[in-house]
Amino acid sequence: MIPYAKQNISEQDIEAVSRVLRSDFITQGPVVVEFEKAIAQYCDAKYAIAVSSGTAALHLACLALEVGKNDIVWTSPNTFVASANCALYCGAQIDFVDIEPGTYNISIEALEQKLSIARQKGKSPRVVIAVHFSGQSCDMQAIYKLSQEYGFKIIEDAAHALGGEYQNQKIGYCQFSDISIFSLHPAKMITAGEGGLLLTNNKSLIDKATLLRTHGITRDSSLIQGEKHGIWYYQQLELGYNYRITDIQAALGLSQLQRLDEFVSRRRQIAERYNQLLSALPLTIPQQNEACQSSWHLYVIRLQLNKLNKNRKKIFDELRKNNIGVHVHYIPVHTQPFFKNMGFKEQDFPESIAYYQQAITLPMYVDLSDEMVDYIASTLSEILA
C-alpha cells in the first residue's frame, strides 16, 4: 500500500540521534536549545520552545494567552480535534467558524459575520485559532485586522505548515499573530518522532509557556520569591505540566530541519505533477492563493460528485483496492460525538460538511516517486471514468 504520508529518515538523522544516546544528556540537554534556536532562526521569530507534541504546544499557547473558564475560543471545523481540545483543557468554551469553499481554511466572511453577532450578544471570542490547512496559510492579514477591531488574540495552528510562506515570510514568523505552533509528528513536514514547537515574538508569552512546560517550576533567581535556600532550590509558581521534549527527539528534529527546504521543494514538484495530471478530471484541485506558498503537507482533491455516478466512499474504497492509501482530512470536528453532546449540529457549518463529503487526500510525501504519482493519477482517472 502506498501510504498517504511517510517520514524520510536519513543516515545523518540516525547518526545525530546516536550521538545524543552516547552523550551525557538524553532529556532537556544542549540539543533541545540548539533545535529551538535553529527553528526561531528559520522562521525569523524571536523566540521558540520545543515541547512534547503539537497538542502540548497548542495547550501552552492557550495558557500563555490566559484562556480560562469564562473565555470562548474559535477555530475551524476542518482540522484535527487538538485545535479545539486545547481550549477545553483550559476550561474555556469552543465554537467554530465555517470554511472557505476554495482553500478549506477559515472563511474571513464567516468570521466577520460571526464576530459582529457575537459582539451584540456579549459572546466575543478571546482567541481565534487559525489552522493553515494542508500547509497553505489562512488570510492572516484579514484575521489580524479583525482582531484589532474586535479585540481577540490569534494562535496559528501551523501543524501542517512548517516551511510554507505567507507574504514572502516563513509561516511561524508571527507577523499577524501572537503565537504559532508546529507539530513534529511523523506525518508532518519534519519529525522528531513526537514533538511540537511554539513560536512568538513576545517575551512574556514565551516566559509563561516555558514555565508551564515544566510543572510551573523555576530556578531563576529573578522569579524566586524570598531567599533561595541553596543551589538545589526551586519554586513552583504556577500549575504547569511535563510537556518536555527530549534531546533524543530534538536531535532528530534538528537534523531533519537541515533538509526541510529540500522536503518542501520535492512536495511542490509532486503537487505540480498531480495538478497537471488531474486538472481535466471531474474534481477540483487545491486552490492556491497568491500570497501563499504552501508547504504541501497534504494534497486534497474535491470530487465533483454531480458529474460522477459513484459516491466518495466507493471511489475511496476502489483507490484502496488498488493499493493507494488515500485518507480523508478532516471529519468536521463539530460532528464528533463529544462535540455533538455540547449541542453542535451538523449543519451549523454547512461548507465544512459539503467539503467533507467530497474530499479525498491523495498520497503526498517526500519519497513518493513520479512513477507513483503517475500510477495514482491514472488509477484515479480510470475509477472516475
Ligand X SMILES: *Cc1c(COP(=O)(O)O)cnc(C)c1O
User: Using CB under 6 A as the criterion, which residues of the chain lie in contact with ligand X when the complex forms?
Assistant: 53-55, 79-80, 82-83, 131, 157, 159-160, 183, 185, 196
Q: How far is the CB of 62 from ligand X (least distance, A)?
A: 13
Q: Whole-number minimum distance, CB 83 to ligand X, in Å?
A: 5
Q: Is the Cβ–Cβ distance between 282 and 304 less than 8 Å?
A: yes
- We find the least distance from the C-beta atom of residue 326 to ligand X, in angstroms, to be 17
By beta-carbon proximity to ligand X, the closer residue of 54 and 77 is: 54
- The 10 Å Cβ neighbour count of residue 378 is 11
Nearest residue to ligand X, by Cβ distance, number only? 54
Q: Which is nearer to ligand X, 181 or 380 (CB)?
A: 181
Pick between residue 124 and residue 188 the one whose CB is nearest to ligand X.
188
Please compute, for residue 197, the number of CA atoms within 13 A of its CA located in the half-sphere on the CB side: 38
Strands of 189-347 (E only): list them: 196-200, 217-218, 235-236, 283-284, 292-293, 299-303
Strands 47-51 and 196-200, sheet pairing: antiparallel
CB of 198 to ligand X, least distance (A): 12
DSSP state of 285: P
Helix (H, G, I), strand (E, B) or coil at 306: helix
Closer by beta carbon to ligand X, 180 or else 218: 180
Q: Hey, is 309 helix, strand or coil?
A: coil
- Return d(Cα 84, Cα 28) in angstroms, integer: 28
Instruction: Find cell 483496492 and name the residue.
Output: 321
Min dist CB 162 to ligand X, Å, is 11
Strands (DSSP E) contained in 39-88 are 47-51, 72-75
User: Based on CB atoms, which residue is closest to ligand X, 55 or 255?
Assistant: 55
The nearest distance, CB 333 to ligand X, in angstroms, is 10
Residue 179 host element (H or E): strand 179-183
